[in-house]
Structure 1
Amino acid sequence: MIEIKNLTKTYKNGSIAVTALREVNLNIEEGEFVGIMGPSGSGKSTFMNIIGCLDRPTSGTYILDDKAIAKMSDNELAEVRNQKIGFVFQSFNLLPRTSALKNVELPMIYAKLSSKERRKRALEALDWVGLGDRVHHNPNELSGGQKQRVAIARALVNNPSIILADEPTGNLDTKSGNEVMGIFKKLNNEGVTIILVTHEADIAQQTKRVVTFKDGEIIKDALNIGEEMNSID
């Protein structure tokens, strides 16, 4: 599904060039559940931005579903983001004065679905994440865990093949974080590919594969099998 070859990203700050990614190579198959780890400044967020078609690499190749992302126009990238990728963020990114239902409907407005279809899908998604009784609540009436479940429902409504989650448990207590991880596991068991950035080792251990970044490079790529980590050559 995802094929990364010699991916490099360099940012210019005046006359200073900062390299965030250095010739990264990585393949992710359909249906995988991959955790991305690394300290601040390791390149993991830059990597996720490129995977999510929010940024472009300076050099190298990113192939998504057999299509070269670098050759796409901005409009084509926006279409890929809307149709193929669901985003879940640490800060939830919900509209504060808008109900859970309307927040979840938002991506479908950009996809130009009818209001009837938007409402139907949004209600189904909220019910799926266990919030069928909170559809008319605004974010300030919800707990952190409930807000993140609304965000997950929003990420699901266009039936994406990939969910990108950036520190999705970072603002949650342990119980809520584990509940959110349970939803991701359920999604993955239904065939959705999930790529999750975290700095929490216990969260990474709940994924099926952990890729560790340091100084813009992948220093470890390992399968999670029980509590053991088996390196992939």
Structure 2
Amino acid sequence: MIKIENLTKTYRSGPIEVKALKDVSLMIQREEFVSIMGPSGSGKSTFMNILGCLDKATSGKYILDQVNVEELEEKELASVRNKKIGFVFQSFNLLPKISSLKNVELPMMYAGIPPKERKEKAIEALKKVGLENRLDHKPNELSGGQRQRVAIARSLVNTPSIILADEPTGNLDSKSGEEVMGIFQSLNNEGVTIVLVTHELEIAQFSKRIVVFKDGALIEDKEVENRNIVNL
């Protein structure tokens, strides 16, 4: 599904040149569940931004679903972001003045899906994350764990090829974090490919594979042996 070859990202500030990514190569198969780890400044966030088509590499190749992302124009990239990639963020990124249902409908509005179908799909996605009884609640009426579930439901509604989650448990207590990881495991079992950034090894242990970055380079790529499993 994802093929990265010799990816390099260089930032320039006047005469100073910083290599955020150095010659990274990686493959992620369909239906994998991969955690990206590394200290601050290791390049993992830059890597995720490139995977999410929010940034472009300086050199190298990024193939997503057999499409060379580096060759796409901005309009085409926006379409890929909306239809092929679901995003989940640490800070939830929900609109505070609208309901859970309306927040989940948003990506479908941009995709031009009719209102009746939007509502049906949003309800189905919220059921999938156990929030069918919170459809009309606004974000400030929900717990942190429930807000993240709304964000996960929103990431699912356009049936993306891949979900990118950036520190999705970072603002949650351990119980809520475990519940969220259980939802990701359940989605992965249904065939959704998930790539997740975390600085916590315990959270990474819920995935099937861990990739470690340091100083812009990929230094380790290993299967998870003693995996944490959540029974929802």
Output one character per residue of 1:141-184: Cα deviation in whole Å (capped at 9) or x when no partner.
Answer: 00000000000000000011100000000000000000000000
Equivalence map 1:128-147=2 (5 Å) = 128-147=128-147
2:70 maps to a residue whose letter is: A
1:39 aligns with 2:39: yes
TM-score by length of 2: 0.97
Equivalence map 1:5-20=2 (5 Å) = 5-20=5-20
CA RMSD of aligned residues (A): 1.0
Unaligned stretches of 5+ residues in structure 2: 228-232
Partner of 1:152: 152
1:117 aligns with 2:112: no
Percent identical: 68
CA distance in structure 2 between the aligned counterparts of 1:31 and 1:90, rounded to whole angstroms: 23
Tell me how many residue pairs correspond in the alignment: 228
CA distance in structure 1 between the aligned counterparts of 2:71 and 2:161, rounded to whole angstroms: 21
1:201 maps to a residue whose letter is: L
Equivalence map 1:91-130=2 (5 Å) = 91-130=91-130
1:71 maps to a residue whose letter is: E
Output one character per residue of 1:175-204: Cα deviation in whole Å (capped at 9) or x when no partner.
Answer: 000000000000000011000000001000
CA distance in structure 2 between the aligned counterparts of 1:224 and 1:183, rounded to whole angstroms: 18
Partner of 1:64: 64
TM-score by length of 1: 0.96
Partner of 1:178: 178
CA distance in structure 2 between the aligned counterparts of 1:100 and 1:12, rounded to whole angstroms: 41
Unaligned stretches of 5+ residues in structure 1: 228-233
1:11 maps to a residue whose letter is: Y
CA distance in structure 2 between the aligned counterparts of 1:190 and 1:93, rounded to whole angstroms: 25
Q: Which structure 1 residue ranges, 4+ long, deviate > 2 Å from structure 2?
A: none
Partner of 1:3: 3
CA distance in structure 1 between the aligned counterparts of 2:86 and 2:68, rounded to whole angstroms: 19
CA distance in structure 2 between the aligned counterparts of 1:4 and 1:225, rounded to whole angstroms: 25
CA distance in structure 1 between the aligned counterparts of 2:111 and 2:138, rounded to whole angstroms: 23
1:216 maps to a residue whose letter is: G
